Structure 1
Amino acid sequence: MVGAGDAGQPVGELAARLLGDPARAAVVQAHGGLWLGRERVLDAARPAPEGELLTISQPPDGRYAQAAITPEQVLYEDADLIVIDKPAGAYVEATPWDVGGHLLAAVGQLLARRDGAAPPLHLAHRLDRDTSGALVFSKNPEVNPRLQATFAHGEAHKQYLCRCQGAPAQDAYDLSTGHGRGAKGRFRVYPAEEVGRELPQGGGTVKAMRTRLEVLRRDGDSALVRALPATGRTHQIRLHMAHAGHPLLGDTKYGGPAAWRDQPLPYHLLHAELLRMPHPRTGQPLEIAAAPVWWG
């Protein structure tokens, strides 16, 4: 909280004093990691008002991600849409600590280099930082309402590939549970009968979460599984695989191993391999396949 003695001081100077490192503070500010209340501050000279909360946001691992997209990573494009093959380890949009190192900006930069200017891009859906595969952006604001409705109402068929620890006993099965935040704000699985229950401390309600899982191949220490989510909950496939006793390789957050066959895994092995959806303007069916992954 900005006290009376610091009121009116430039935000950048306050951050440098709090961090004890002016050079580090300049890096944080350049990436958009300074906040007054709920507003990102991009001007280091802006005076800090008394009583406002100054937040300094930095990458959890101390490193700023780099995001770049090449023409070869474009899976589909027309006047309304562009679909890219998202690399693992890339954020899809701005984070509290970085206003620019993400794929929304990278796609805009690619189109600006090619066409001289970038259209107004909009994310149709999201993938976790470490999930790879087909990611859809709109290029035309006129199709945004229809595109958003396609994903919100389950009209987009999403197919994922993952590699999990161990081998599920059944060749195919359906999981139907609840989904919500736990006591510490982390997403977790709830029993299906708790769907609709109010969660404490403004955590919303328990939502339904449904996934079909199909085992494609068992490889002794792991299995290759196709996941077909019927709902679109945050971390859905990761949560359901862990709930089934077979967390994703590399998904240490939900109990998965950090290495596979003596090789460290910098990210979890989950890939959005196929997307089927109606075109938001014409209604014609689109089928977009991402490139194969090395672990598949």
Structure 2
Amino acid sequence: MKRIIGAGPGAPTTGLTAATTPEKPAVRRVVVDEGSAGQRLDNFLLRELKGVPKTHVYRVIRAGEVRVNKGRAQADTRLELGDEVRIPPVRLPERAAQPAAPAREFPVVFEDEHLLVIDKPAGVAVHGGSGVSHGVIEALRRARPEARFLELVHRLDKETSGLLMIAKKRSALVHLQDQLRDRETGKTYAALVWGDWPDRLKVIDVPLVKFVGGDGERWVRPGRDGEDDAKRSISLVRVVRKTLRFSLLDVTIKTGRTHQIRVHLQQAGHAIVGDPKYGDFEKNRELARGPARFDRMFLHARRLRVSHPATGAELVLEAPLPPECAKLAAP
């Protein structure tokens, strides 16, 4: 756990805030522990000073008010175990009290001292924000108060179920995120789509563009080659089986763009069953109200292949289809 050294002579402090009163913020000196070793200084401060605008955090770094081992440091300085970071007095904005996240555990697929992989249920956000007070990571931290470090390695949409990685050490977080960035992992999703998926369509190589719609929500649309902000996105599709109304697909992503699978399948003319954002709303409503009572999105992160962040051994992890999905997709 981080040690916080006194805000002034003879005034040791504990907790994340060293101010003697809310009106008088004070200097903090924080000793970097294993959970923060290797982190950039700017990211470390953004976590320590939750609620403070990024512009202000970078301003105090540029002004030299933040010191590492009593010397000036840059935003991209990598912190090392035992470093002492001087954090200047910063007044945190007053915010309405948020209800604490309820402690909750989730089905564990794999766990050791470096990594936790869970089977996330549909309908649960991975973290708080954007109108959601808390998610998986906050619930896990509450359920495991003794854990020194718990951070999301990647994200899943709230509506998506399946395998989610949480790092238990910063070294594991960096190693796994490097694998994701370098496309050295295999992430396969089960997706049920409307209609008869063409067997010949095995590769979708369509760039994607993120934008904010008139409703203020984040959306993604297919882009054009050469279009500003269009990022190349590749999904590999394999047909598992077909029924009278649906096609069950295995989709392996070679890139990890926001809403990639949802938009790729929709633009191919076969939206994901139950998708509330890009799907066929009339069919979804009919399915939810009919005998099946299926009222979620059928997208499930079912298989994950990564190298273990400490040993390098290949991990191949799987999460079976949730019962309601297995029933709907049955032959």
Give the TM-score of the pair, scaled to structure 1: 0.70
Following TM superposition, by how much is the alpha carbon of 1:223 offset from its aligned partner in structure 2, in angstroms?
Answer: 1.1
Corresponding residue for residue 122 of structure 1: 151
CA deviations over 1:220-251 (Å, ceiling 9, x no partner): 11111110111100000100110111100111
Which residue among 256, 273, 279 is the counterpart of 1:249? 273
Aligned residues: 228
Mapping 1:30-45, distance limit 5 Å: 41-42=94-95
CA RMSD of aligned residues (A): 2.6
Letter paired with 2:143: L
Q: What does residue 311 of structure 2 align with?
A: 282
* 2:232 alignment partner, SS class: strand
Q: Which consecutive unaligned segments of at least 5 residues does structure 2 have?
A: 1-50, 55-91, 327-331
Structure-2 change in CA distance of 1:119 and 1:229 (3 Å): same
Bigger Cα Rg: 2
Which residue is equivalent to 1:111? 144
Q: Which amino acid aligns with 1:277?
A: V
Taking only the aligned residue pairs, the percentage that are identical comes to: 29
User: What is the aligned partner in structure 2 of residue 212 from structure 1?
Assistant: 236
**Greater length-normalized contact order (CA 8 Å, ≥ 6 residues apart):** 1
Q: Shift in Å at residue 255 of structure 1?
A: 2.6
What runs of 5+ residues in structure 1 fail to find an aligned partner? 1-34, 45-56, 58-63, 199-204
Q: Is the 8 A contact 2:193 2:272 kept in 1?
A: yes
Change (3 A) 1:67 1:181: farther
Q: Tell me, yes or no, if structure 1 residue 258 matches structure 2 residue 307.
A: no
**Residues 134-162 of structure 1: per-residue CA shift (max 9 Å, x gap):** 10000011222212101111111101101
CA pair 43-249 structure 1, distance change in 2 beyond 3 A: closer
Contact 1:160 1:226 in 2 (8 A): yes
Contact 2:108/2:119, CA 8 A, preserved across alignment: yes
Q: How does 1:222-233 map to 2 (within 5 A)?
A: 222-233=246-257
Displacement of 1:43 in angstroms is 5.3
**1:290, distance to aligned residue in structure 2 (A):** 1.0
Please state how far the C-alpha of 1:207 moved relative to its aligned partner.
0.3
Residue 116 of structure 2 aligns with which residue?
A: 82
Mapped to 2, the partners of 1:162 and 1:238 lie a distance apart of 9
Change (3 A) 1:96 1:252: closer
Match of 1:187 in 2: 220
Local SS of the residue matching 1:215? strand
1:35-74 pair list within 5 angstroms = 41-42=94-95, 68-70=104-106, 73-74=107-108
